[in-house]
Amino acid sequence: MRVAVVGSGPAGFYAAGALLSADPPAEVDMLERLPTPWGLVRLGVAPDHPKLKSVSRAFERIAEQPGFRFLGNVEVGRDLHHADLVRLYDAVIYAVGAQTDRRLGIPGEDLPGSWAATELVAWYNGHPDFQQLDFDLSVERAVVIGNGNVALDVARMLALTHEELAPTDATDASIAAIADSSLREIVVVGRRGPAQASFTTPELQEMGELAGADVVVDPVDLEGAQPKSTNAERNFAVLQGFAAREPQGRPRRVVFRFFQSPIAILGKERVEGIELVRNELDANERAVPTEERETLACGLVFRSVGYHGVELPGVVFDAKTGTIPNEGGRVEPGVYSAGWIKRGPTGVIGTNKKDATETVVLLLEDAVAGRLQPKPDASAAAVDALLAERGVRVVEYSGWTAIDEAERAAGEKTGRPRIKLCSWDELLAAAERIASGKTS
């Protein structure tokens, strides 16, 4: 059986792993729009968390198995279409993640200086589509909207010192820009209270361990809070600890503000401030706005209020949830989904393993029950011929390995895990140098 897995993030790799270890094993073509694999593990997870990125070792072991092919620089919807995949493979698994951000839907959201957190994340992580973005870090205060781990990542990254950033694989440009920025204060705004925040505790705790930034929590925000889960209780204890601290006079401050929602981003030519409204919680712990408003001067706003999947031409899509409608990962016999595009943008890297395995179990059930249509055209040669006919510069796994080796070698000289190649030209050139036997 030949299966196309679209997307090479955790969900794609875990799905591939389950398919390759099936009895009999399936052949897997992993189609990825970038020349590099690993999805958000490479381009989302914060560079100062190298241990989390090391899950890529497990993905490498999957990629080394017989029957696996990586076809990078192949975008489904542009280079190959759903109809091609249905013709050329016995089954297709979409594992394309959630490629866009949720908007706040408030005035001023499109002013220069108002960004999706994803844009900053992709920029400091070296995503080739985001290197031209020009973040003006010559401002004193940035506001991060959201109370999840991505909001923490953004606030923390902006607060790191040069010494903290230097050993990471963040891009050189982002290290210089952040370390030399004029930022003095990063405000993290949550619409509900400290007991409702969806931070995970170790990540929250880390905010209190920054070399160059004090953490500030107003004890008033903690009064009367009723944490309802173990995670919320642990978070609350950490926040109590923060509230009891005296600032140490570090150059930057990370300030947590709870019970506030943005209602407008203000400014003429660019962001100059943000208008916040005070909320109360109703009996169901929903945020209800009061009459109390406040304007906070700031030069940057990062919204981190969730992600949203993107529709692929020819594939069913639920625009409300931003997912491909499915039952346990089965869209219909022969078409499946896994990861964020299946269940929505929640959960950690490991969550995608159970999720992708569930999908593959259904796919294999369909195969055994004879529910997959016979595909006389399904062959690697037919896929290669079509890609060649369309002039696609496919990056195979050996091409990615060449990129990987070049990046690691560059990093080794300065004690960093890697120095990423972060333009399309550099990435494709590094991949193709090896393919053509040149190893300069």
Ligand X SMILES: Cc1cc2nc3c(=O)[nH]c(=O)nc-3n(C[C@H](O)[C@H](O)[C@H](O)COP(=O)(O)OP(=O)(O)OC[C@H]3O[C@@H](n4cnc5c(N)ncnc54)[C@H](O)[C@@H]3O)c2cc1C
Q: Under the criterion CB under 6 A, does residue 352 sit at the interface with ligand X? A: yes
Q: Under the criterion CB under 6 A, does residue 349 sit at the interface with ligand X? A: yes
Q: Under the criterion CB under 6 A, does residue 31 sit at the interface with ligand X? A: yes
Supply 311's token pair.
């529709």
Which of 1, 4, 5, 10 binds ligand X (CB under 6 A)? It is 10
- Exposure letters 259-294 (e unless 16+ CB within 10 A, then b): bbbbebbbbeeebbbbbbbbbebeeeeebeeeeeee
Phi and psi for 12 in degrees, rounded to 5? -60, -45
Q: Under the criterion CB under 6 A, does residue 25 sit at the interface with ligand X? A: no
> Where does this chain touch ligand X (CB under 6 A) — which range of 94-102, 276-284, 362-370, 424-432?
94-102
The nearer residue to ligand X, 45 or 142, going by C-beta atoms, is: 45
d(CA 82, CA 88) in angstroms, rounded, equals: 10
State whether residue 158 is helix, strand or coil: helix
CB of 332 to ligand X, least distance (A): 19
d(CA 100, CA 368) in angstroms, rounded, equals: 36
Q: Under the criterion CB under 6 A, does residue 426 sit at the interface with ligand X? A: no
| Long-range contact set of residues 58-62: C-beta below 8 Å, sequence gap at least 24 | 58/13, 58/17, 59/8, 59/10, 59/13, 62/13, 62/16, 62/17, 62/20
CB of 369 to ligand X, least distance (A): 27
Which residues ranging from 229 to 268 are in contact with ligand X (CB under 6 A)?
none
Q: Under the criterion CB under 6 A, does residue 75 sit at the interface with ligand X? A: yes
- Contact map string, positions 146 to 185, toward ligand X, x by CB under 6 A: ----x--x--------------------------------
> Where does this chain touch ligand X (CB under 6 A) — which range of 16-24, 40-48, 137-145, 319-327?
40-48
d(CA 353, CA 403) in angstroms, rounded, equals: 26
Which of 1, 2, 5, 7 binds ligand X (CB under 6 A)? It is 7
Closest CA to 60 of 404, 393, 395: 404
Q: Are strands 91-94 and 2-6 parallel, antiparallel or unpaired?
A: parallel
| Neighbouring residues of 366: CB distance < 8 A, sequence distance ≥ 6 | 91, 330, 333, 334, 372
- Number of residues forming the site for ligand X (CB under 6 A): 34
Q: Under the criterion CB under 6 A, does residue 193 sit at the interface with ligand X? A: no
Which of 16, 19, 26, 76 binds ligand X (CB under 6 A)? It is 76
- In this structure, are residues 341 and 325 in contact, taking their beta carbons and an 8 Å threshold? no
CB of 227 to ligand X, least distance (A): 22
The nearer residue to ligand X, 47 or 113, going by C-beta atoms, is: 47
Residue found by looking up tokens 């820009």 in the block: 177
CB of 376 to ligand X, least distance (A): 25
Closest CA to 170 of 348, 411, 426: 411
State whether residue 414 is helix, strand or coil: coil
- Contact map string, positions 309 to 348, toward ligand X, x by CB under 6 A: ---x--------------------------xx------xx
Q: Under the criterion CB under 6 A, does residue 49 sit at the interface with ligand X? A: yes
Q: Under the criterion CB under 6 A, does residue 129 sit at the interface with ligand X? A: no
Which of 29, 32, 101, 164 binds ligand X (CB under 6 A)? It is 32
Phi and psi for 88 in degrees, rounded to 5? -95, -10
Q: Could you list the residues that contact ligand X (CB under 6 A)?
A: 6-12, 31-34, 39-40, 44-45, 49, 52, 75-77, 95-97, 99, 121, 150, 153, 312, 339-340, 347-349, 352
